[in-house]
Amino acid sequence: MTRLITDPAEAAALLRAGELVAFPTETVYGLGADAFGGRAVAAVFAAKGRPHFNPLICHFPSAAAAFDSDVVADDRARELARLFWPGPLTLVLPRRATSRVDLLAGAGLDTLAVRVPAHPLALEMLRAVGRPVVGPSANRSGSVSPTTPAHVLESLGGRIAAVLDGGPCTVGVESTVLDISAGGAVLLRPGGVPVEAVEAAIGPVGRPVPLSAAEATRSLRSPGMLLSHYAPSLPVRPDATEVGAGEALLAFGPTPLHGAGALWNLSPGGDTQEAAARLFAGLRWLDAEGQRLGLTRIAAMPVPTAGLGAAINDRLARAAAPRR
Ligand code: AMP
Ligand code: MG
Going through the chain in order, the beta strands assigned E by DSSP cover 3-5, 21-23, 30-34, 57-59, 89-94, 111-115, 133-134, 162-164, 176-179, 186-189, 236-237, 247-251, 263-265, 297-300
Rounded distance from Cα 136 to ligand 2 centre (Å): 6
Judge whether 14 and 119 are in contact, CB under 8 Å. no
Q: Which of the ligands is closest to the CA of residue 56?
A: 1
Query: With a 6 A CB cut-off, is 174 part of the ligand 1 pocket?
Result: yes
The alpha carbon of 254 and the centre of ligand 1 are apart by a number of angstroms equal to: 35
In the three-class reduction of DSSP (H, G, I as helix; E, B as strand; rest coil), residue 46 is classed as helix
Q: In a 3-state reduction of DSSP, which class is residue 43?
A: helix
Q: Is the CB of 195 under 6 A from ligand 1?
A: no
CB 175 within 8 A of CB 27: yes
pLDDT band at residue 223 under the 50/70/90 scheme: very low
236-237 β-sheet, strand order: 236-237, 297-300, 247-251, 263-265
- Alpha-carbon distance of 196 to 95, in angstroms, equals 27
Query: What is the rounded average pLDDT for all residues in the chain?
Result: 93
State which fold the 236-320 domain adopts. Answer: Rossmann fold (3.40.50)
- The C-alpha angle 30, 36, 40, rounded to 5 degrees, equals 60
Q: Measuring from atom 13 of ligand 1, which residue has the nearest CA?
A: 224
Side chain identity at residue 253, one-letter code: G
- Report the residue among 188, 225, 230, 314 best suited for mutation to probe ligand 1: largest number of ligand atoms under 8 A from its CB: 188
Q: Which pLDDT tens digit goes with each residue over 227-243? A: 667 789 999 999 999 99
Q: How far apart are CA 179 and CA 91, in angstroms?
A: 6
pLDDT of res. 210: 58
Sort 305 into a burial class: Cβ within 10 Å, 0-12 / 13-18 / 19+: middle
Q: Is 106 in the pocket of ligand 1 (CB under 6 A)?
A: yes
Q: Confidence band (pLDDT; 50, 70, 90) for 220?
A: very low
Fold category of 3-216 in CATH? DHBP synthase (3.90.870)
| HEC-encoded secondary structure of 98-148 | CCCCCCCCCCCCCEEEEECCCCHHHHHHHHHHCCCEECCECCCCCCCCCCC
pLDDT at 69 over 80: yes
Q: Up-side HSE of residue 257: CA atoms within 13 Å toward CB?
A: 21
Distance CA 113, CA 135 (A): 11
Q: pLDDT at residue 211 above 60?
A: no
**pTM of the prediction?**
0.90
What's the gap between Cα 186 and its chain centre? Answer: 18
At 166-195, the pLDDT tens digits run 999 999 999 999 999 998 999 999 999 999
CB 267 within 8 A of CB 279: no
pLDDT digits (tens, 9 = 90+) for 17-47: 999 999 999 999 999 999 999 999 999 999 9
Please indicate whether residue 139, judged by its CB atom, sits closer than 6 Å to ligand 1: no
Q: What is the structure's pLDDT at 215?
A: 56
Contact partners, residue 209, CB within 8 Å, separation at least 6: none
- All structural domains of the chain with their residue ranges: 3-216, 236-320
How far does residue 313's CA lie from ligand 1's centre (Å)?
19
Average pLDDT estimate for 58-84: 98
